[in-house]
């Protein structure tokens, strides 16, 4: 009885209080976004009977994406995991090589490296952006290092000037994992245009999506041809004249094939991506406007910190919106309790960052000895627990608060509501102790 009475007096939604937002009456913007043009494009593919294999939609999307990203070549593929793997293969990276990757990223960034028999070297990130720390990259370079894979994580950019300078100094390749950054710009240059190869994902959660899909971008013709062959069972792309002669899908020069598998995208995916890419610049602009406004409010809000935005980030793109939490200021309230309370107030998912890769439940190479135990030295080298990632650890366990990018498609009032919710939890933190 007494407990019931006390509960009634509680203010926070997570404790049975009234949530700030009634999502039944006032839903958040939906994701994915689609309209009758997507329906039309999908039906066009359906009726054409050309459902895959270098079809007109795939070619059109590749051209559009290259132009949008400001690169000479774009080669679409099945997803943003194989795009990384094929990028490594195109650069000739394999057994005996080391590749430096950030400790805070989706597992694919490192998993693609072990899948080409190379060793992922995990390095720590910067606390204010959660992106790879160039100072840690430089410390990790050895005579075996062949490449760096910076990840532009969530709403931040890896420092591409510093990464570029290290790559130049030690003669390393750069693969820009831009799975979160379609359309983002660093000093006026698009994500995915600054390294040897850019890699993108079009998985459902991404801000350009076809449910699944991936893309590889480059300015190097030789690499583009290799990437094209690698995603298509090793068939060399034909020249434009050959294409005109025989129609799409024919390949010449039999002696020139290379070993690979099928990593092709379908025409249905390409159709959705063409329509999505027409909408994305406007959506990115809206998300960036809202994020700037929200960050300016977070600056003034006790107990939280916006992510650092470098002045060189001329356009930001958001896979999700994240900010930093300060437990001390919330009277010792653990961040997971804060995230739960925020989710309950707003009716949205509020999550931690990715798990650091030295303790990530989905990055466990030592569970696959038949594939990865090439020899004892390699087996030890790919053990993620040998890396020390204190900043990643702090971010994941103590600081990170992440929400879906769809909230950034809302109104200014929606942004204000998020801050009001944080204030409410701050004022009633005692209820959660
Ligand atoms: C940073 C990063 N890299 C790579 C990937 C892999 O992309 P996909 O899911 O399309 O395979 C993801 C997907 O979440 C990602 O977030």
Nearest CA to ligand 1 atom 10: 80
Radius of gyration (Cα) for the chain, nearest Å? 23
Ligand 1 pocket, mutate which of 81, 110, 150 (most atoms under 8 A from CB): 81
Domain positions in the chain are: 36-276
Q: Residues of the chain with pLDDT > 90: what percent?
A: 92
Position 242 pLDDT exceeds 80: no
- 150 CA to centre of ligand 1 in angstroms: 13
Nearest CA to ligand 1 atom 8: 80
Rounded mean pLDDT of the chain? 94
Ligand 1 pocket, mutate which of 80, 99, 209 (most atoms under 8 A from CB): 80
> Does 36-276 carry CATH code 3.40.640.10?
yes
Q: Which atom of ligand 1 is nearest to the CA of 151?
A: 1
Residues with CB under 6 A from ligand 1: 79-81, 105-106, 108-109, 151, 177, 179-180, 201, 203, 214
Q: What's the pLDDT tens digit per position in 348-377?
A: 999 999 999 999 999 999 999 999 999 999
Q: What is the structure's pLDDT at 257? A: 84
Catalytic residue among 181, 206, 226, 424: 206
- 153 CA to centre of ligand 1 in angstroms: 11
Known catalytic membership, residue 189: no
Q: Where are the alpha helices (DSSP H) in 143-263?
A: 160-170, 221-230, 240-246
Cα 268 to Cα 277: distance, rounded to the nearest angstrom: 14
Position 131 pLDDT exceeds 70: yes
DSSP state string for 135-148: HHHHHH--TTEEEE
The beta-carbon contacts of 135-140 under 8 Å, at least 24 apart in sequence, are: 137/100, 137/163, 137/166, 138/166, 140/100
Give the DSSP H/E element, type plus range, for residue 341: helix 335-346
Q: Which atom of ligand 1 is nearest to the CA of 79?
A: 10
Token readout for 142 is: 């050895």
Q: Confidence band (pLDDT; 50, 70, 90) for 433?
A: confident
Q: Which atom of ligand 1 is nearest to the CA of 206?
A: 14
Nearest CA to ligand 1 atom 7: 80
Cα 180 to Cα 166: distance, rounded to the nearest angstrom: 23
Instruction: Decide: 427 and 351 in contact? Cβ < 8 Å.
Output: no
Token readout for 4 is: 């019931």
- 394 CA to centre of ligand 1 in angstroms: 23
| pTM (two decimals) | 0.95
Q: What is the structure's pLDDT at 1? A: 45
Instruction: Decide: 274 and 60 in contact? Cβ < 8 Å.
Output: yes
- 69 CA to centre of ligand 1 in angstroms: 18
Q: What is the structure's pLDDT at 372? A: 98
Token readout for 290 is: 């809202």
Mean pLDDT calculated for residue range 92-102: 98
Q: Confidence band (pLDDT; 50, 70, 90) for 2?
A: very low
DSSP state string for 40-92: HHHHHHHHH---BSS-HHHHHHHHHHHHHHT-SEEEEES-TTHHHHHHHHHTT
Q: What's the pLDDT tens digit per position in 274-333?
A: 999 999 999 999 999 999 999 999 999 999 999 999 999 999 999 999 999 999 999 999
Nearest to 130, CA basis, from 302, 356, 339: 356
User: Buried (b) or exposed (e) across 399-427, using 16+ Cβ within 10 A?
Assistant: bbbbbbbbbbbbeeebbebbbbbbebbbe
């Amino acid at each position: 009885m007494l407990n019931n009475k006390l509960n009634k007096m509680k203010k926070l939604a997570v404790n049975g209080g009234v949530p700030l937002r009634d999502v039944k009456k006032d839903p958040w913007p939906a994701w994915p976004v689609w309209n009758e043009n997507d329906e039309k494009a999908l039906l066009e593919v359906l009726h054409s009977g050309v459902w895959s294999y270098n079809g007109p939609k795939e070619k059109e999307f590749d051209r559009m994406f290259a132009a949008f990203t400001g690169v000479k070549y774009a080669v679409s593929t099945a997803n943003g995991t194989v795009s990384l793997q094929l990028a490594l293969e195109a650069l000739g990276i394999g057994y005996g090589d080391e590749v430096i990757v950030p400790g805070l990223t989706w597992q694919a960034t490192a998993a693609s490296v072990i899948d080409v028999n190379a060793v992922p070297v995990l390095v720590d990130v910067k606390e204010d952006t959660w992106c790879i720390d160039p100072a840690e990259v430089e410390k990790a370079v050895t005579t075996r290092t062949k490449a760096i894979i910076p990840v532009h994580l969530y709403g931040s950019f890896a420092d591409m000037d510093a990464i570029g300078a290290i790559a130049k100094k030690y003669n390393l390749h750069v693969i820009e994992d831009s799975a979160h950054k379609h359309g983002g710009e660093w000093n006026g240059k698009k994500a995915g245009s600054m390294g040897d190869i850019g890699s993108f994902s079009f998985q459902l959660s991404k801000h350009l999506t076809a449910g699944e899909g991936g893309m590889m971008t480059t300015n190097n013709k030789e690499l583009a041809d290799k990437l094209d062959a690698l995603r298509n069972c090793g068939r060399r792309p034909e020249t434009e004249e050959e294409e005109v002669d025989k129609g799409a899908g024919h390949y010449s020069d039999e002696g020139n094939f290379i070993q690979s598998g099928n990593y092709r995208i379908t025409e249905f995916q390409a159709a959705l991506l063409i329509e999505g890419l027409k909408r994305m610049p406007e959506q990115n602009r809206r998300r960036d406007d809202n994020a700037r406004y929200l960050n300016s409010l977070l600056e003034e809000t006790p107990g939280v910190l916006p992510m650092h935005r470098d002045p060189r980030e001329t356009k930001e793109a958001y896979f999700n919106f994240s900010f930093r939490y300060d437990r001390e200021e919330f009277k010792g309230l653990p961040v997971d309790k804060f995230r739960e309370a925020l989710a309950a107030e707003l009716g949205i998912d509020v999550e931690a960052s990715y798990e650091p890769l030295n303790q990530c439940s989905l990055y466990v190479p030592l569970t696959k000895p038949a594939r990865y135990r090439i020899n004892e030295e390699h087996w030890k080298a790919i053990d993620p627990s040998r890396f020390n990632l204190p900043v990643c650890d702090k971010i994941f366990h103590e600081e990170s608060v992440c929400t879906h990018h769809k909230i950034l498609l809302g109104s200014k009032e929606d942004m204000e509501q998020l801050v009001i919710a944080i204030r409410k939890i701050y004022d009633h933190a005692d209820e959660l102790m």
